[in-house]
C-alpha cells in the first residue's frame, strides 16, 4: 500500500479539489468491492435450504412499507437482499475509513452516525428493491431482475454515501513518528 500513500501525498500537495477527486476515485473502487460482496451474497444465500424454503413457500411478505410478493421470493428475498446489503455496508465502512479517507476520526462517534444513516438507506432500499424487482421480473428472468434492482439501489446508495463519508471521515490519521 506504499504506492497508495504516495498518490495520497501527491494529491494533497495539489490541493483539496484534487484530494476530493482522488478520494472519489478510491470510493468508486471500494464501492465496487462492496457491490461484489453484495452480489455474491445475493446470489448465493438463496441457495441455502432454509432460504430456498422461504422463497418457495408461496407466501407474500408484507411488513410496514416493505412488500415482497411471493412471485419475487417473499420473506426469503427480503432476508437475502437485506443481509447482502448490510454486509456490503460493513465492508464499505471499514475500507473507506482506512483507505479512501485515511481517517483517524473517533470510531465511537462515526460508527453510530454511520449506522443510523445506513439503517435509513437500507430501509429505503428494502422498500425500493422489491418494488423494482417486481417491475423488472415482467421483462427478464428472476435472477436478472434481482440483480438489476440491486444495481439501481446500489447506485442510489453510492451517490448518497460519498458526501456523508467525506463529512464523517474528515479527520486525518496522525502520522506515526
- ∠ CA 72-52-46 to the nearest 5 degrees? 75
Residue 90 lies in a domain: yes
Residue 176 lies in a domain: no
Q: How many domains does the chain have?
A: 1
Residue 24 lies in a domain: yes
Average model confidence (pLDDT) across the chain: 91
Residue 44 lies in a domain: yes
Residue 173 lies in a domain: no
- Tell me the pLDDT tens digit for each residue of 75-126: 999 999 999 999 999 999 999 999 999 998 888 999 999 999 999 999 999 9
Residue range of the domain that includes 76:
2-168
Residues 6+ apart with CB under 8 A from 38: 84, 85, 87, 88, 150, 154
Contact predicate 119/106, CB 8 Å:
no
- ∠ CA 149-155-159 to the nearest 5 degrees? 150
Computed from CA positions of residues 107, 150, 34, 100, in that sequence, does the dihedral angle turn out positive or negative? negative
Residue 66 lies in a domain: yes
pTM (predicted TM-score): 0.87
Residue 64 lies in a domain: yes
Mean pLDDT, rounded, for 132-137? 93
C-alpha cell at 77: 428475498
Amino acid at each position: 500500500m506504499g504506492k497508495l500513500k504516495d498518490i495520497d501525498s501527491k494529491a494533497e500537495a495539489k490541493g483539496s479539489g484534487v484530494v476530493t477527486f482522488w478520494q472519489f476515485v478510491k470510493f468508486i473502487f471500494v464501492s465496487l468491492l462492496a457491490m461484489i460482496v453484495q452480489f455474491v451474497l445475493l446470489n448465493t444465500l438463496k441457495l441455502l435450504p432454509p432460504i430456498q424454503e422461504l422463497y418457495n413457500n408461496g407466501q407474500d411478505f408484507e411488513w410496514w412499507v416493505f412488500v415482497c410478493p411471493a412471485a419475487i421470493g417473499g420473506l426469503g428475498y427480503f432476508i437475502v437482499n437485506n443481509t447482502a446489503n448490510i454486509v456490503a455496508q460493513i465492508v464499505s465502512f471499514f475500507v473507506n475509513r482506512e483507505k479512501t479517507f485515511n481517517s483517524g476520526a473517533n470510531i465511537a462517534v462515526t460508527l453510530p452516525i454511520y449506522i443510523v444513516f445506513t439503517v435509513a438507506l437500507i430501509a429505503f432500499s428494502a422498500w425500493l428493491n422489491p418494488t423494482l424487482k417486481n417491475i423488472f421480473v415482467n421483462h427478464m428472468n428472476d435472477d436478472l431482475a434481482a440483480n438489476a434492482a440491486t444495481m439501481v439501489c446500489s447506485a442510489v446508495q453510492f451517490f448518497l454515501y460519498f458526501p456523508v463519508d467525506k463529512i464523517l471521515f474528515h479527520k486525518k490519521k496522525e502520522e506515526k513518528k
